[in-house]
Structure 1
């Protein structure tokens, strides 16, 4: 009788499982298996018809694992690819909370979640619900403005920019996107709440804006500094072009951070121009 793992997994069926020289057991080494050993144990349960509970916490890993193992319908009706795909499509993506959970879990699944379009579908679902302000009693409190900011601000920067791009594509107002960017910066950038010191060159000449940063920046690991720099550069690049999208104070704070972390000169210059134009506009209205 064929082993259920082999009969349901085309990938396993093609492998040559060779015994260890030192003992009689079989060696099965799966390089870069999505979800790790815990996910593989769940796959084993599925193969041996043991109860398996799909949840927002494990469904992305199981979907990726089923693709890795090639658990296709040609081998068995209702194989793991089709079951996990159905759960994602009809259960997860209909719920704001579940979609947030699944997208967070994708951060540990490398390229698998990207290639299977799980990240894109989650981002699109989040963007649609946010742009429609589709509140439910489960998703958000009534009358809460921009209820989705806190959830979206929990994602790492590459997923955050995907969500913001999708939200913008759906016609969401620039000031709403700007407020979400500000919320994200407050959460991820240490020092955004520190007051700017030594501001001079107060817009008397075009783009003539200079800072002296006296606040002591703690010595941090190079990895942390690189992450902060990446976040700053990304946020600068996605600020909506409308002058009212983000506050003048926020732009000053972000420019301070940009100088502290030596961001791309082109991005820093672009932000300086925006700050200077706001100052010039304020001068003209006096």
Structure 2
């Protein structure tokens, strides 16, 4: 029996398929509505899709479902494609008593909490490749919820003691060498997922982090992951890709408890960002986070070269913005110890930049007057 191929389907300009109109339309409500109840023998019918989720690969998968009498194995490796495709093609009607594809995929998604971790990663990676369609369908949110739920049940809420500094842990995923073996194991349980989530795009990282914050994850663990993500992603990639990563990481760090964020690592991001021309709003957030912990800074931290094209040696304007952020809550909100450290630091900084012949007198004066006299008495 000859195979009928009376419908030409152009999928996103990637590939053109010749299919049986009757077979495909019987399962796809979108095409069924398009063709109506016509039984004419018109030839050379053509449909063009410009935004088909999953492209040609997914259309071929859906076609197999149709040609196989409405049967297909729904697995974690294809469920994102099948679900988004069935929604797009309105495959929500049963044919000859077989379950419709949309119903099958949604039933499988409900069992996502019982999947293996590797299966969740495969599915969320596919959702990522299909954006923005999975977001509108709700399947992406289900994936993220399951992913974070698995992380929560496998990690302890406070893997490291609150007295340990984020700087001491950095992104090495281990506690202080003097810690007990059980504490090391606890830290490992809290960070085992870091490497796996490097496959996520910045959009998904933002979605995951916000969900983790809502679920009361330890902010120090979240910040360590963000620094790890930034360092890993910035090894390669174009300047635009690096800029996007850095901006996303800064924006996510900003919503955390800043006391849980490594001051040393913030300066690491600052050095990277200076060469990337990041958005002003992200730069301001980073400066606020650094400035709020300025009492932890060293003179070396402050000696940041001036921007390209400037004559003076050091970026005095940046340090002044740090000071503004440090004093944002008012001097009454700052402890005498913090004021003493920052005042001493500024004395060292002023002594270092003073010999610069290109430094304008107005900038030097601004540095000397940045801290109120009431702060200097703590020195």
Range of TM-score over shorter length: 0.7 to 0.9
Identify the residue that residue 55 of structure 1 maps to in structure 2.
Answer: 75
1:238 alignment partner in structure 2: 252
Whether the aligned pair in 2 keeps the contact of 1:93 and 1:99 (CA below 8 Å) is no
Greater RCO, 1 or 2 (C-alpha within 8 Å, sep 6+) = 1
Deviations 1:204-261 (A, max 9, x none): xxxxxxxxxxxxxxxx8xxx32222222112111115434423222100111122211
Alignment match, 1:226? 240
1:272-283 correspondence to structure 2 within 5 Å: 272-281=287-296
Change (3 A) 1:3 1:128: same
Q: C-alpha displacement at 1:71, in angstroms? A: 0.8
Indicate how the Cα distance of structure 1 residues 96 and 120 shifts in structure 2: closer, same or farther if over 3 A, else same: same
**Hey, what does 1:34 align to over in structure 2?**
53
Q: Who is 1:88 aligned against?
A: 109
Deviations 1:140-199 (A, max 9, x none): xx86331111112220100011011111111111111111111111111238xxxxxxxx
> What is the alpha-carbon distance in structure 2 between the residues aligned to residue 241 and residue 46 of structure 1?
46
TM-score (normalizing by structure 2): 0.58
Question: Number of aligned pairs?
Answer: 244
Distance 1:184 1:93, change over 3 A: farther
Aligned-residue CA RMSD (Å): 2.9
1:195-210 map, 5 Å: none
CA-to-aligned-CA distance 1:77-99 (integer Å, 9 cap, x gap): 51100111112221476432212
Please say which structure displays the higher CA radius of gyration.
2
> Match for 2:220 among 155, 167, 175?
175
Q: After TM superposition, give the deviation of residue 122 of structure 1 in Å.
A: 1.0
Aligned to 1:190: 235
Task: List per-residue Cα deviations over 1:82-130 (Å, max 9, x = no partner).
Answer: 1111122214764322121111112221322111111111111111221
TM-score by length of 1: 0.75
Conserved? CA contact 2:112–2:120, under 8 Å: no
* CA distance in 2: counterparts of 1:3 and 1:273, whole angstroms: 63
**Contact residue 93 and residue 122 of structure 1 kept, 8 A:** no
SS of residue matched to 2:110: helix
